Each structure stands twice: as structure tokens, then as C-alpha cells.
Chain A
């Protein structure tokens, strides 16, 4: 069974569109995260959710909004997509807020 899964795996869209990426974990973890990996492979935290509450929100544009319908899911909504949003987005989860387990990533390409 996949521990942390993301859909879609690939997403190609036009500038200005709104899109969502879904994440699910079946590990029973309390905290979930979204990371962005840019073209230089640098991985940076965007958001974390603990028990459905936003804990941290790094300097991310408000076009990005995480939404957690329940403890096992953390979705990422992106409005008015820009070229610079092209990257790989990783979801992760953690039981102890230390060791984190990552999903396979969603490759977003904005044209």
C-alpha cells in the first residue's frame, strides 16, 4: 500500500488557470506538509497542517491555499497560475513532527 499518495502525477496548464493537487496518507499521521522543489532541485517547505489546523505558512503567495477535509488528506489549491509556479510539489506526513515521509510528487508545468 502506498503510504503517501498524490494526484495527479503530472499537471500541464495555462497561465491564469486555477488547479488543485490532492494528497492522501494512510499512515495515521497527525501532521501533513506541502513542499516545493524548484528546477535546481531545492526543496522548500510551503505549509504544514496539524490536526486540521494550519501551523506554519512560509512566505508563499496567497494564490496558494492548503485545504484539509480530514486528518488523512491535505489538498493544495493554486489560483491564477504563473510561469514561476512550475515545479515539483511534494506532500509529506509525520507522526512525531520530526521524521517526515514524502509522496511521489506532482510535476506542474505552467505554459
Chain B
């Protein structure tokens, strides 16, 4: 596709429910990132996938958050037992492989999650 796509664009859920957010990166991009943007915390890194390497999960705020990337392409971010403080816009980004360095990250439109 032309850019990074994310679904759903909006998600409203009740506290305690599980949610799944999906990201389709740009074709050929081997690096995939999840970030979230909230009023109090700004933009913060969550998790990073690069090819077949083990993901960097250092930004995940709790063990209720997990992510997987199937076939080196599509990624799903799962939040279990959602809390009101999970309300935020979840952004996905992807970038091309560039050896040991990094390349420009391209962002999707985000999923706005509201936990009631």
C-alpha cells in the first residue's frame, strides 16, 4: 500500500475488556514500531520489531500490553483488562532496513482508544 494503515480508527470499550489494534506497515519495511500519544505523557515508544529478531518490549507500560507480528508484516497490539489510563491514540510506524543504522519512520493515522 501507499502508507501505513491502522484499524480500527476509533475504539470505545468498557473498563476490563480486551482490545486488539492492527497495523499494516508499508510493503518492504522490515522495522515496525508502536507508540502511543496521550495528553499527560506526550508521544512515547511502546515496542519495536525488526525482521526475525526478538522484539524490543522495553516501552510496554505493563504486562497487560503485548504485541505480535505475523509473517514479518502485519502487527497486532493487544491490551488486556483495559483501564481508563489506557485511553490514548496508538500509533504505528514502519521503516526500511538500513544496516545498523535507522531510517525515516513513517506513521499511520492511529487508533483512538477510549476506555469508559
Our verdict on whether A and B bind, yes or no, reads no
